[in-house]
Amino acid sequence: MSIRIGILGYGNLGRGVECAIKQNPDMELAAVFTRRAPESVRIQTQGVPVCRIEDAVQMQDKIDVMILCGGSATDLPVQTPEFVQYFNVIDSFDTHAKIPEHFTAVDEAAKKSGKVGIISCGWDPGMFSLNRLYANAVLPQGKDYTFWGKGVSQGHSDAIRRIEGVADARQYTIPVDEALASVRAGENPELTTRQKHTRECFVVAQEGADKARIEEEIKTMPNYFDEYDTTVHFISEEEMKRDHSGIPHGGFVIRSGKTGWNEEFGNVIEYSLKLDSNPAFTSSILVAFARAAYRLAEEGQSGCRTVFDIAPAYLSAKSGEELRRTML
Amino acid sequence: MSIRIGILGYGNLGRGVECAIKQNPDMELAAVFTRRAPESVRIQTQGVPVCRIEDAVQMQDKIDVMILCGGSATDLPVQTPEFVQYFNVIDSFDTHAKIPEHFTAVDEAAKKSGKVGIISCGWDPGMFSLNRLYANAVLPQGKDYTFWGKGVSQGHSDAIRRIEGVADARQYTIPVDEALASVRAGENPELTTRQKHTRECFVVAQEGADKARIEEEIKTMPNYFDEYDTTVHFISEEEMKRDHSGIPHGGFVIRSGKTGWNEEFGNVIEYSLKLDSNPAFTSSILVAFARAAYRLAEEGQSGCRTVFDIAPAYLSAKSGEELRRTML
């Protein structure tokens, strides 16, 4: 029997989950839930209903795991604790500073309902976090580095779009090669914000807009750009569509640490991602952890979990025996 | 209270475990067990007894986890099932093809004794396996690549030393840059053995030995070298000591896979290690998994486990709350 998945929220992430389910033969899409008028939403999977979010609760017996595809700012802090009352749920909550309180809220609700809620299952938090944990456990004496990019930062792109005279914008976060090289060489550098990443912006200006002022406003924007070396390129709407319609991303998690009686041996552990589509990859992670949620629930477990709490074998469709034979 | 660790076998790996314990304040070395005459073995930790292997069984109440530091060829297939009758144990059994039978033997003995045995906790099998599993779970459509090196292969070095006229030898396995670059670019190449790795040999010849014959014998040695591009350098004993006394190693696990409704998005997940000392790093992994074994046993679990079966949080000395706050 397949694991029946519900998708709650049908944006980039929800569409990605739909694609990822198609790649996993032990899973099937049971329904998509949307805030919009269901009849206005076209999905790709044949014969699967699109429903109103309000109707989800009545479909508890049709869904094994609900994947929550809303945003971390306002959707998930409300939705995850709410829907774990009725479903096993997964989210990709990514506001690092608020994870502890999100965990507590989901854990309380999940323990009451007897369901499983797995939070923060993306790549950062998520796969990057796993790599930080494993590397720290194995190399207790060392230093951690995380670099993001090259990739599109949605938040920074939005910030540029709010500037007067800007019609459209896309911002790429780019790791600084020299910094990466120094970390990889085991030099354990102390790096400032500016030394780790640069920011490259592609901007479509409105007709007659003052480009010099726009560039200045971008480069001096507090928090977003003022601590970085930023370059700004003005391009046409056509160029934006042609060259910048994707949502690529990626990054690096590196731990450089010492072993040996006198810490005489250097070691560098590096994990990296290079993704053509950030939301499609995040969705694939959500689906793998949905399998884990299903299995934990089948075992009678309940409460909130993170990627740290889940044995890797739970993510795979293969049996323990097959995993040992083929992947160990 | 500290986790009390026993080391069984005091070679490179056992010495590495001793060093790793020193880096983990929640652990202490309880005793070292050796096949040699205990009075002939000097260890680095003050005040810790060196005992005969035969005396281990009498020290069950002094040791929480026994780390088995023998070899995979003849020691561990016997020792792990034997000692899990008396102790929670960990090993780094690395004969991939024989893992299923080793698992079965350890599992049976561990279930009878009520102890936990974790097998194959090195970097391959071990950390590399974990990365294969995670990457496969997240990207079901894709292709796996493992490259080893640059690093010293003990088995290949030994094979050269058995050639007539060879006084000493060191063999480095080196990944081919072009192959790595193609895999990283998402080109999903089909690679032959020769295309993936080259082998570089440093040989000290005995006085008067026929170097041309030695070189020929190395390059044509079946299984070890005949399928590879091999270079042979003859060096002096002094050069061997000066330049090749370390045991560095490392490697790369890469999965290149597709996401999207029509698999239109490429993704590359890469994990790599660069290690000054192969045994010291393997030892550090063993010690982290010893912590997990202790905790599983405290929970009343028993049986054989691999890295796939253990939630990452069990490896860390930090609490779940601290991990979520600092690493997620």
A186-198 mean pLDDT? 95
pLDDT given for residue B1 in this prediction: 80
Ranges of beta strands (E only) in chain B are 3-8, 27-34, 50-52, 65-68, 88-90, 116-118, 142-148, 151-152, 166-175, 197-205, 229-234, 249-259, 265-275, 303-305
pLDDT in tens, B278-322: 999 999 999 999 999 999 999 999 999 999 999 999 999 999 999
Q: In what order do the strands lie in the sheet with A88-90?
A: A50-52, A27-34, A3-8, A65-68, A88-90, A116-118, A303-305
Q: For residues B99, B105, B109 and B115, what is the CA-based torsion angle, rounded to 10 degrees?
A: 0
* Percentage of residues in chain B having pLDDT higher than 90: 98
pLDDT in tens, B86-145: 999 999 999 999 999 999 999 999 999 999 999 999 999 999 999 999 999 999 999 999
> What would you measure as the largest C-alpha separation in chain A, in angstroms?
67
Query: Which chain B residues touch A96 with a CB distance below 8 Å?
Result: 328
Instruction: For residue A299, name the pLDDT band (cuts at 50, 70, 90).
Output: very high
Average pLDDT, chain B: 97
pLDDT given for residue A230 in this prediction: 97
pLDDT given for residue A176 in this prediction: 97
User: Is B285–A259 a contact, with Cβ atoms under 8 angstroms apart?
Assistant: no
User: Is A323–B308 a contact, with Cβ atoms under 8 angstroms apart?
Assistant: yes
pLDDT at B28 over 90: yes
- Distance between A108 CA and the closest CA of chain B, angstroms: 15
pLDDT given for residue A202 in this prediction: 98
- Which residue from B144, B171, B152, B175 is spatially nearest to B251, judged by alpha carbons? B175
B205-224 mean pLDDT? 96
pLDDT given for residue B314 in this prediction: 98
Q: State the count of interchain CB pairs (< 8 A) between A and B.
A: 217
Residue whose tokens read 């099937």 = A28
A156 is in an annotated binding site: no
Q: In this structure, how many other beta carbons lie within 10 angstroms of the beta carbon of residue B7?
A: 29
* Percentage of residues in chain B having pLDDT higher than 70: 100
Query: Which chain B residues touch A317 with a CB distance below 8 Å?
Result: 137, 140
A74 is in an annotated binding site: no
User: Is A138–B44 a contact, with Cβ atoms under 8 angstroms apart?
Assistant: no
User: Is A140–B24 a contact, with Cβ atoms under 8 angstroms apart?
Assistant: yes
Q: Which option is the CATH number for B3-124+279-327: 3.10.310.70, 3.30.479.30, 3.40.50.720, 3.10.20.30?
A: 3.40.50.720
pTM (2 decimals)?
0.96
pLDDT at A83 over 90: yes
Nearest beta carbon to residue A280 from set B127, B260, B280: B260
pLDDT in tens, B52-91: 999 999 999 999 999 999 999 999 999 999 999 999 999 9
Average pLDDT, chain A: 97
User: Is A328–B120 a contact, with Cβ atoms under 8 angstroms apart?
Assistant: yes
pLDDT given for residue B235 in this prediction: 98
Listed in sequence order, the DSSP H helices in A87-210 are: 99-113, 127-138, 154-161, 177-184, 193-196
Instruction: For residue B254, name the pLDDT band (cuts at 50, 70, 90).
Output: very high
Residues 6+ apart with CB under 8 A from A227: A192, A193, A194
User: Is B125–A276 a contact, with Cβ atoms under 8 angstroms apart?
Assistant: no
pLDDT given for residue B49 in this prediction: 98
pLDDT at A1 over 90: no
pLDDT in tens, A7-16: 999 999 999 9
Q: At what angle do helices B12-22 and B278-298 cross, to 10 degrees?
A: 60
pLDDT given for residue A31 in this prediction: 98
Nearest beta carbon to residue B328 from set A20, A96, A186: A96
